[in-house]
């Protein structure tokens, strides 16, 4: 939507987000040129679309994060845009109109986000989404070895002006949006002073419009060190935050340069953030060189004690362009230079631990943490923490509860009852959980039910992945090489 706003006004545009809808032949027949964007993990799908366009003789332009980490020739597009759009798109559009577009456009510097336009919201089918996205900043000041964010967007956090963010929210509100907004930054608190300034403005904005917008975002764990910032985020309506926790093993954190997570109790830091009414979602990684065979048990134990319901555990990936990739390539350990994806379906380097053991251990972690009993225990722990600390609902709960009864979540709730409570294999855990929520955590009902539905998604995905990973572990054992598994759905 931001790129669309940078293109000439005279161009007619369609936006097809293949996360939520199919790309139809008639869309391609309508177009003169197709601009594609994606992240590395979406590479296969993106290349398939490029191929489809080429077969029709349709001109293609590929940009987005993937263009910064994959050699331009591999993208097979007519034109590749490397870098951020703000400084490049006007020139590209002019060249396309004149028929003089070059194969590669590369930004010479990273633009200030104050030059970023208001996204063109008219192009999106909002009813297909449960959250809308607003990007406030790019870049992160930290220096984690495995991270491609800092390679692509740099270590100096760049932010939009407060007025730009409020204009985006005004636009969403005017379009009828009343639900969650994901502040989709690399690290929302990369510049804490500016984040505080924005939070104050968001709180005022919500009060002014008495709006039900809730916010969620991604941040680094040092959020727990700043009570003022956590309070401001709570006041602004942030009800969840994704943190890269990575591993409970401090030697792994030090080795991967995730120093902001060291010299502290990770569990206490998580609990501190939760006590401000913010649900913590956690990212975890298995496969560091420092991992020993007890890492799987330690990971499960940590996640269970953390009260983090949504724990996203993945196998380490050496993303092209990262410090990790360069180190492993130097050590002759890269086996797939194209990189992998971080949902554990692909291992693109030779790990220190036996590959089969690593994959099997990963499978066992997923199975354990997404068993119904373990999952609901974490949700209850989280609910007890927010209730005990604040004695009231998590941020945005009141509005969420109203939405539960009036919007699409109500349908999801009924579906959840049918699928989890009637036909689900672990339906007794589900009903036990519902009973606990209605007797002990009534004030958090919306949050609890949202988490129950999300948990079901993770249970289904875990079952699918578990089968695939089992086969992958066997293959690794036989072939003594890393594995690749593809999981549909």
List of residues contacting ligand SF4 (CB under 6 A): 140, 142-144, 147, 149-150, 186-187, 220, 244
For ligand SF4, which is the closer residue by CB, 325 or 404? 325
From the CB of 314, what's the least distance to ligand SF4, in Å?
A: 13
Q: Which is nearer to ligand SF4, 258 or 346 (CB)?
A: 258
**Residue corresponding to tokens 């969420």:** 400
Least distance in angstroms from the C-beta of 318 to ligand SF4: 14
Neighbours of 422 (CB within 10 A): 9
Which of residues 244 and 344 has its CB atom nearest to ligand SF4 in the complex? 244
Distance CA 396, CA 60 (A): 42
CB contact at 8 A, 298 and 361:
no
Distances (CA, A) of 435 to 1, 4, 405, 439: 43, 48, 19, 6
Beta strands 279-286 and 131-134, pairing class: unpaired
- The residue among 177, 134, 382 whose CA lies nearest residue 279 is 382
Cβ contacts of 169 within 8 Å, gap of 6 or more: 134, 181, 202, 205, 213
Q: Which of residues 142 and 430 has its CB atom nearest to ligand SF4 in the complex?
A: 142
Residue 60: how many other CB atoms lie within 10 Å: 22
CA distance 239 to 237: 6
Instruction: Considering the complex, state which of residue 220 and residue 403 has its C-beta at the smaller distance from ligand SF4.
Output: 220
State how far the alpha carbon of 122 is from the alpha carbons of 1, 171, 301, 379, in Å: 9, 10, 46, 37
Least CB distance from residue 46 to ligand SF4, whole Å? 22
Closest to 152 (Cα-Cα) out of 85, 243, 231, 96 = 85
Nearer to ligand SF4 among residue 244 and residue 455 (C-beta): 244
Other Cβ atoms less than 10 A from the Cβ of 477: the count is 15
Least Å distance, CB 146 to ligand SF4, is 7
Q: How far is the CB of 148 from ligand SF4 (least distance, A)?
A: 8
**Minimum separation from the CB atom of position 153 to ligand SF4 (A):** 9
C-beta separation of 32 from 101 below 8 A: no
Q: Which is nearer to ligand SF4, 78 or 341 (CB)?
A: 341
Cα 175 from Cα 121, distance rounded (Å): 8
DSSP state of 123: G
Name the minimum Å distance from CB 220 to ligand SF4: 4
* Length, in residues, of the chain: 489
The least distance separating ligand SF4 from the CB of residue 144, rounded to whole angstroms, comes to 3
Spatial distance between the Cα atoms of 459 and 449, rounded to a whole number of angstroms: 15
- Report in angstroms how near the CB of residue 221 gets to ligand SF4 at its nearest: 8
- C-alpha dihedral (397, 451, 196, 202), degrees to nearest 10: -50
Instruction: State the Cα–Cα distance between residues 382 and 306, nearest whole angstrom.
Output: 8
The rounded distance, in Å, linking the Cα atoms of 135 and 150 is 16
**Closest CB to ligand SF4 among residues 49, 243:** 243
Query: What whole-number distance in Å separates Cα of residue 121 and Cα of residue 31?
Result: 20
Q: How far is the CB of 115 from ligand SF4 (least distance, A)?
A: 22
**What is the b/e burial string over 303-323, where b = at least 16 CB atoms within 10 angstroms of the residue's CB?**
bbebbbbbbbbbbbbbbbbbb
68 vs 187 by CB, closer to ligand SF4: 187
Pick 70 or 150: Cβ nearer ligand SF4: 150
Shortest distance, CB of residue 123 to ligand SF4, whole angstroms? 28
Q: How far is the CB of 244 from ligand SF4 (least distance, A)?
A: 5
Three-class SS state of 182: strand
Task: Give whichever of 138 and 196 is closer to ligand SF4, judged by the CB atom.
Answer: 138
Nearer to ligand SF4, 139 or 394 (CB): 139
């Amino acid at each position: 939507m931001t790129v669309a706003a940078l293109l000439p006004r005279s161009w007619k545009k369609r936006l097809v987000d293949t996360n939520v809808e199919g790309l139809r032949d008639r869309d391609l027949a309508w177009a003169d040129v197709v601009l594609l964007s994606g992240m590395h993990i979406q590479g296969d799908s993106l290349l398939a679309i490029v191929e489809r366009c080429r077969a029709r003789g349709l001109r293609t332009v590929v940009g987005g994060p993937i263009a910064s980490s994959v050699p331009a020739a591999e993208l097979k597009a007519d034109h590749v845009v490397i870098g951020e759009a703000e400084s490049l798109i006007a020139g590209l559009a002019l060249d396309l109109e004149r028929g003089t577009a070059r194969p590669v456009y590369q930004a010479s510097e990273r633009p200030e986000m104050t030059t970023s336009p208001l996204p063109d919201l008219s192009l999106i089918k909002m009813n297909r989404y449960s959250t809308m996205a607003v990007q406030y900043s790019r870049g992160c000041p930290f220096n984690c070895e495995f991270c491609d964010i800092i390679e692509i967007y740099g270590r100096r956090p760049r932010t939009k002006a407060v007025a730009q963010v409020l204009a985006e929210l005004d636009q969403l509100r005017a379009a009828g949006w009343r639900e969650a907004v994901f502040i989709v930054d690399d690290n929302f608190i990369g510049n804490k002073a500016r984040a505080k300034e924005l939070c104050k403005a968001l709180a005022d904005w919500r009060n002014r419009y008495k709006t039900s917008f809730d916010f969620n975002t991604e941040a680094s764990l040092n959020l727990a060190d700043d009570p003022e910032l956590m309070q401001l985020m709570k006041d602004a309506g942030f009800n969840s935050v994704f943190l890269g926790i990575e591993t409970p093993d401090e030697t792994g954190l030090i080795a991967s340069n995730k120093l902001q997570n060291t010299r502290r109790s990770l569990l206490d830091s998580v609990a501190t953030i939760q006590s401000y009414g913010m649900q913590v979602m956690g990212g975890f990684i298995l496969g560091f060189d420092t991992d020993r065979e007890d890492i799987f048990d330690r990971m499960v134990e940590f996640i269970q004690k953390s009260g983090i319901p949504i724990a996203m555990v993945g196998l380490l990936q050496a993303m092209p362009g990262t410090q990790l990739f360069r180190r492993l390539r130097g050590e002759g350990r890269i086996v797939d230079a194209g990189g992998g994806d971080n949902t554990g379906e692909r291992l693109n380097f030779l790990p220190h631990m036996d590959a089969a053991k690593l994959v099997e251990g990963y499978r066992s972690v997923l199975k354990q943490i997404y068993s119904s009993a373990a999952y609901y225990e974490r949700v209850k722990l989280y609910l007890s923490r927010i209730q005990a600390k604040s004695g009231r609902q998590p941020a945005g709960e009141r509005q969420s509860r109203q939405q539960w009864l009036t919007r699409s979540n109500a349908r999801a709730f009924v579906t959840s009852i049918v699928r989890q409570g009637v036909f689900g294999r672990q339906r007794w855990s589900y009903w036990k959980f519902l009973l606990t929520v209605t007797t002990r955590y009534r004030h958090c009902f919306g949050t609890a039910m949202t988490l129950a539905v999300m948990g079901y998604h993770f249970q289904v995905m875990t079952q699918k992945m578990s089968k695939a990973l089992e086969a992958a572990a066997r293959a690794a054992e036989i072939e003594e090489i890393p594995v690749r598994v593809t999981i549909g759905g």
